[in-house]
Amino acid sequence: MSQLPSPVIFIPGIMGSALRDEYCVDPETVWSPIKLLVKAYERVTLHPSDTRFELVEPARVMADKVFELIYGEIIAELRHNLSPQADKPVPVYPFAYDWRQPLELVETELATFVDEVIARTRLLRHYDKAGYGSADFPAKVSLVAHSMGGLIAAGYLQARGEGKVAKVATIASPFRGSLEAVSKTTTGVGALGNSPSSSREREAARVTPALYHLLPSFKGAIKPANEDIFLPETWQEGIIQTLASFVRMYGLKPGAPREQAVALLKTMLDMAWKHRVRIEKLTLSNSKMWLAIVGLDETTRVSMEIKRAGSKPWFELEDPRNEWHKGVAANDINTGDNTVPYLGARTKFIPTEQVVCVTPSDFGFWEFKDKLLEKGGFHSSLPNMNLVQRLVVSHLKGEKYGQIWGRPPPDLDGGVPWDPPIAGLEAK
């Protein structure tokens, strides 16, 4: 291995980047959990006639910076711990993106950013001296992603291949979705965010394409099993009514607002389903290039029921559960990180025996465990966990960094040995 790791791009989760309106002469922040909890829903809600753009025009809302409270520490730690010495930094670039948009659009932006990071790294003398861009040290980047960022990384690799990617580390990524995406669209509140329920947030969520990319597709998520949440006729009437209201007030086509609303919902669901299918088709030349960290042992929604009164569906979200190590081995999978259920974090391209699990008990005594969990729950706190940071650094460096451990996944077959992508990782 080269003395220097490949440069790193950090991809945050949904709502992990601030948004600013650049139409103003002095660009104005319109969504940020950092700056006085700015959430101008009326300015970040997307237009029903073209969801690439805002409901209220003229505007030009763009991605700003990543959420420092959640991601500042892991980015700083990666920069410090990957670099062999202060005057030979390993670049770690935050990738802020518009988290409202379909993930294929974000992947295109990521592809451009990958090329930029490679070009900038070539200009570093210590990388040039190490032969970055040679056969021994290919001009590649490593991707580190939290939550929905992992779906973006997977989609990028599926569409563009591994040619420019050395390694990947994902943290709590819902490759097969989360019930919280359903909660967010139906009630306006869910563990995907920490704000109270509001009609404004609920309405904005219903016309946010990226949120539908997080709908659950894992086995047992939807009951009865013959219901398909990626079809518009499965959705509650309230969602259709909200979209129809947007069409009626802001749409450009005359008449039939309900039909236009159904068509809009179908478009967003189709994009989400096609992306999910693409991710499932991803194959890696070496699955150990990918470190998948999954959170367990928190109460998490693992299923929902779709009930019908005649032909009208109604969503009934079941109470969160945590049955990991509660006495019935078959139920160990009914757990998660309070946002992403274990089965929602699984994916076909990562073998079960290579998944690395962590729990709230893995917080060190020096960490502000209760404070972190209170602010955003285990899912949002995972990037701040020292153990998680050391695991990612160890994976990217190709050698153990500090004291690290992990837990085998709950559905690992007893006859299959745990085989994480970090050699010598201690099993808890």
Whether 382 maps to a domain, the answer reads yes
pLDDT of residue 365: 61
pLDDT of residue 69: 87
Q: Is the dihedral of CA 203, 209, 211, 213 positive or negative?
A: positive
Q: DSSP label at 406?
A: E
Per the CB < 8 A criterion, the answer to whether 321 and 335 are in contact is yes
Per the CB < 8 A criterion, the answer to whether 71 and 65 are in contact is no
pLDDT at 191 over 70: no
| Number of compact structural domains in the chain | 1
Tell which residue, 354, 358, 346, has the closest CA to residue 219. Answer: 346
pLDDT of residue 254: 86
pLDDT at 187 over 90: no
Section 194-207 average pLDDT: 72
Average pLDDT, the chain: 93
How far is 333 from 220, CA to CA, in rounded Å?
11
pLDDT at 33 over 90: no
Per the CB < 8 A criterion, the answer to whether 301 and 223 are in contact is no
Reported as a single tens digit per residue, the pLDDT across 134-144 is: 999 999 999 99
Whether 285 maps to a domain, the answer reads yes
Q: What's the number of CA atoms in the CB half-sphere (13 Å) around residue 374?
A: 4
Tell which residue, 279, 314, 297, has the closest CA to residue 182. Answer: 314
Whether 314 maps to a domain, the answer reads yes
Whether 254 maps to a domain, the answer reads yes
Whether 168 maps to a domain, the answer reads yes
Residue 2: count other Cβ atoms within 10 Å of its Cβ. Answer: 15
Domain that holds residue 76: 8-427
Whether 415 maps to a domain, the answer reads yes
Reported as a single tens digit per residue, the pLDDT across 143-173 is: 999 999 999 999 999 999 999 999 999 999 9
Tell which residue, 103, 95, 146, has the closest CA to residue 279. Answer: 103
Reported as a single tens digit per residue, the pLDDT across 348-362 is: 999 999 999 999 999
Whether 3 maps to a domain, the answer reads no
Determine the distance from the C-alpha atom of residue 173 to the mean position of all C-alpha atoms in its chain, rounded to a whole number: 5
Whether 1 maps to a domain, the answer reads no
- Is pTM, for the whole model, over 0.85? yes
The two tokens of residue 309 are: 């009164």
How far is 229 from 175, CA to CA, in rounded Å?
16
